[in-house]
Structure 1
Amino acid sequence: MRIVYGDLIGGVSGDMFAGALLDLGLPLGRLKSELKKLPALHYRLEVTKKTVHGIRATRFRVICGRKEPERPWKEIRDLIRQSALDAEVKEKGLAVFARLAEAEGKIHGVAPDKVHFHEVGATDSIIDIMAAAIGVYHLKIDSFHFSRIPLGRGVTRSRHGPLPLPGPATLELLKGLPVQWIDLAAETVTPTGAAIIATLGSHFGETPSMIVEKIGYGAGEKEFPDRPNVLRLVLGQDEAAWKQEEMLVIETNIDDMNPEFYDYVFDRLFAAGARDVFLSPIQMKRNRPGTLLRVIAEPALREKLAAIIFRETSTIGLRYYPVKRVILKRRTSRVKTKFGTVKVKIIEEPDGTKRATPEYEDLRRIAAAKKIPLKVVYDEVLRRFKEGEG
């Protein structure tokens, strides 16, 4: 498994992340050709080398020739969806922007779909985010680990007037992640940078056990007196046969709700990012039969998932506690068959062998469209996967 450790020495921004990916080996020509697949954007790229405290780093800048109007989330979403970019690139870019929309909506008190981006909706931010998604796809990175997130203090100016640092949207995006307050009167993490690491990161804080292959440095715009303003990305192979994740369990006992409602509750929780949701029969006080609803999720999603449970069930209280889980390495890919392309989850066993699990919704869609048994599609996907592995 190819993993990256992101060392947030000077913090992170969208341009620092893109610069570090270029320094890591993403070809500039490939990046430019892929970005051209985004329609109706006017800009030019400026990529230079910059020495920061003796460290040679890549500086990435998006130059826009004119002032742009703010863009609503729907417009950005349509722009990405209608592009000719690879589906996985679109998916990652949309996931970053969805987090931004949710954070901005919460800060300004509006629904995510009503959010109008100004600073982060400008062309340069769109290019920064999509450059990150393109780089992850091209470099075939399976997992990101990040250091603790350094946060400076102070006040900055925005369209809304003076704002505290870290910015409200930045801090909202970093909820549930380990931060470190530093003695620096400057913005170290931008909303775009926060959205990228919050979306891509699976582990924060500890350095992973890995075999180092490449190192890339992305330079920031500002100069800091006590630290180099760079983001360091370390690319390598994960040594472990499995990975460990920090998760949160949220649970509640319910004995007075229509059981037909659970299907909808599951849909809402999974759509909000829950890793797993399940029910267990329990015996409650006065021998009443009840149901234990249990949700496993990333710690950063605690408030969001708790709000859904309170809204959609009859419970009046929740329990939550941290857990660790060990999971086999896995990644998603696509297998082309004579019936169509199917998304598969590829799982690596401790002995290095691989097995594939086809995506059920793709199987069902193709079987219905082709009017063939679902099992025929399933067998064909596994056959093609084994041929490709062989």
Structure 2
Amino acid sequence: MKTLYLECAMGASSDMLAAALFDLCPDRDLAYLQLTHLGYPGLHLELAPAEKMGIAGASFSLWLDQPPQGHFHADLAWVEELLLSLDMPRAAREKAMAVYGRIAQAEGAVHGAGPREVHFHEVGSPRAVLSVAACCLLWNLLSPDRVVVSPIHLGSGVVQCAHGLLPVPAPATARLLEGVPVYGGQIEGELCTPTGAALLREMAGSFGPMPVMAVEKTGCGIGKKDFPRPNCLRAFLGREEEAFQSNGAALELVCNLDDITSEALSFACQKLLEAGAVDVAVTPILMKKGRPAFQLTCMGREATREALVKALFQYTTTLGIRERRCPRYTLDSRFEEVSTPYGPVTLKISEGYGVKRCKPEYDTVEAAARKAGVPFQTVWEAAQAADRDR
């Protein structure tokens, strides 16, 4: 699966995103040719190498011979008419229209108006529309099967807009990013613009950490403003092999125990396994006042959560349980039987991620060793030899 991951540690703008996507293009000449032939009168583009605080990447600049003067107002119909006039692939145009549909919905919600009644200011200028169109054209050229976006840094403070000073994130940006993982910080300024937010919402199949993938190329879009951190948006293009994908979320329940006997702890572990735990682990720890204790970690599935929580409270002395969820990656396993001089032994064979492992199953090794009256290790080694000789 061809996957694009966007790291928005310094937010996102349409210019930064366009630069990062251009940096990824395998055929930059073709990409530049399409961008410069959008067919808008007086349009000029510059995609050039750039650097911020030692980080190299690309910068995107767009300007017009005759930009609108004063405060510019446009509605959704005007933006759609402009996009229809551009010489760009239909799929890219539809993406750009969907982006502006999102912006119109957000602006309408902020101002208490319908999407087609909204009057855009900065985001509706020809320059802004053309910048969004450039992003969508490059996105269409790359054609990833999936786009994943990191949690988005919004910045802090205020930003000057046509309506005056507005808090960061701007109201439309906040609307656009409802339900998306975002965070603020001590960097003052608007890091994520409304057009950047709308593009990310339209592009993203999901938001979260970088998936397990074989990265084939990286791109870096350099922003124009200077901050205490490198102002850039990084893009990673690669492949998520099916075997690299998570097997689902694992549920971990953890508690610390400083007043339970070893016998009771052993019994509790067995009861947790009977209640549906995938695995149970006990780790020696040192708690407050220098008390030796145990940390009990129980891994299960969402379907068994209630039963496991009940078992932890019922069979241990804990007064509280911590819960966390995380992706779980496993090798694909199967069981095969081999013949040894001491009887049949079952092997567990696990494969994936370019790895293959083979291990004799304890119960069958023990049974064969007892029946033959030989050491456990003798049967174990015989089973491994039988596997190698197959």
Is the shorter-chain TM-score for this pair beyond 0.5, marking a shared fold?
Answer: yes
Q: Secondary structure at the match of 1:117?
A: coil
Inter-CA distance 32–160: structure 2 relative to 1 (3 Å threshold): same
Residue 36 (structure 1) shift: 5.3
Q: Secondary structure at the match of 2:12?
A: coil
CA contact (8 A) 2:40 2:86 kept: no
Match of 2:232 among 226, 230, 233: 230
Residue 244 (structure 1) shift: 7.8
Residue 149 (structure 1) shift: 0.7
Match of 1:219 among 195, 218, 222: 222
2:187 matched to 1:205? no
Q: Secondary structure at the match of 2:65?
A: coil
Q: Matches of 2:238 and 2:93 in 1, distance apart?
A: 25
CA contact (8 A) 1:35 1:127 kept: no
Q: Deviations over 1:147-187 (max 9, x none)?
A: 11112111111111111111111111000000112111111
* Amino acid in the other structure paired with 1:130: A
Inter-CA distance 41–76: structure 2 relative to 1 (3 Å threshold): farther
Residue 126 (structure 1) shift: 1.3
Q: Secondary structure at the match of 1:45?
A: strand
Q: Matches of 2:22 and 2:173 in 1, distance apart?
A: 24
1:97 maps to what in 2? 100
CA contact (8 A) 1:147 1:206 kept: yes
Alignment of 1:340-351 (within 5 A): none
Q: Matches of 1:35 and 1:108 in 2, distance apart?
A: 34
Inter-CA distance 124–206: structure 2 relative to 1 (3 Å threshold): same
Match of 1:174 among 171, 174, 177: 177
1:4 maps to what in 2? 4
2:261 maps to what in 1? none
1:116 maps to what in 2? 119
Q: Secondary structure at the match of 1:49?
A: strand
Inter-CA distance 129–72: structure 2 relative to 1 (3 Å threshold): same
CA contact (8 A) 2:58 2:222 kept: yes
- Equivalences, count: 249
* Amino acid in the other structure paired with 1:20: A
Q: TM-score, normalised by structure 1?
A: 0.59
Q: Matches of 1:201 and 1:148 in 2, distance apart?
A: 11
Q: Matches of 2:120 and 2:26 in 1, distance apart?
A: 28
2:164 maps to what in 1? 161
2:13 matched to 1:13? yes
Q: Matches of 2:37 and 2:120 in 1, distance apart?
A: 22
Q: Deviations over 1:258-288 (max 9, x none)?
A: xxxxxxxxxxxxxxxxxxxxxxxxxxxxxxx
Q: Secondary structure at the match of 1:183?
A: coil
Q: Matches of 1:183 and 1:238 in 2, distance apart?
A: 34
CA contact (8 A) 1:49 1:57 kept: yes
Q: Secondary structure at the match of 1:98?
A: helix
Inter-CA distance 41–74: structure 2 relative to 1 (3 Å threshold): farther
Q: Deviations over 1:115-174 (max 9, x none)?
A: 222211112211221111111111121211111111211111111111111111111100
Q: Matches of 1:140 and 1:107 in 2, distance apart?
A: 33
Greater shift in the superposed pair: 37-46 or 153-162: 37-46
Match of 2:148 among 137, 145, 148: 145
Determine which structure has more spread, i.e. the larger CA radius of gyration.
2
Inter-CA distance 245–119: structure 2 relative to 1 (3 Å threshold): farther
1:30 maps to what in 2? 30
Residue 48 (structure 1) shift: 2.1
Q: Percent identity?
A: 36
Inter-CA distance 245–16: structure 2 relative to 1 (3 Å threshold): farther
* Amino acid in the other structure paired with 1:76: V
Alignment of 1:244-283 (within 5 A): none
2:241 maps to what in 1? 239
* Runs of 5+ unmatched residues, structure 1: 247-390
CA contact (8 A) 1:41 1:123 kept: no
1:195 maps to what in 2? 198
Q: Secondary structure at the match of 2:18?
A: helix
Q: Secondary structure at the match of 1:6?
A: strand
Q: Secondary structure at the match of 1:157?
A: strand
Residue 195 (structure 1) shift: 0.5
Q: Matches of 2:245 and 2:104 in 1, distance apart?
A: 30
Q: Matches of 2:25 and 2:53 in 1, distance apart?
A: 22
CA contact (8 A) 1:217 1:233 kept: yes
Inter-CA distance 117–57: structure 2 relative to 1 (3 Å threshold): same
* Amino acid in the other structure paired with 1:113: R
Q: Secondary structure at the match of 1:116?
A: coil
Q: Secondary structure at the match of 2:165?
A: strand
Q: Secondary structure at the match of 1:81?
A: helix
* Runs of 5+ unmatched residues, structure 2: 249-390
Q: TM-score, normalised by structure 2?
A: 0.59
CA contact (8 A) 1:38 1:79 kept: no
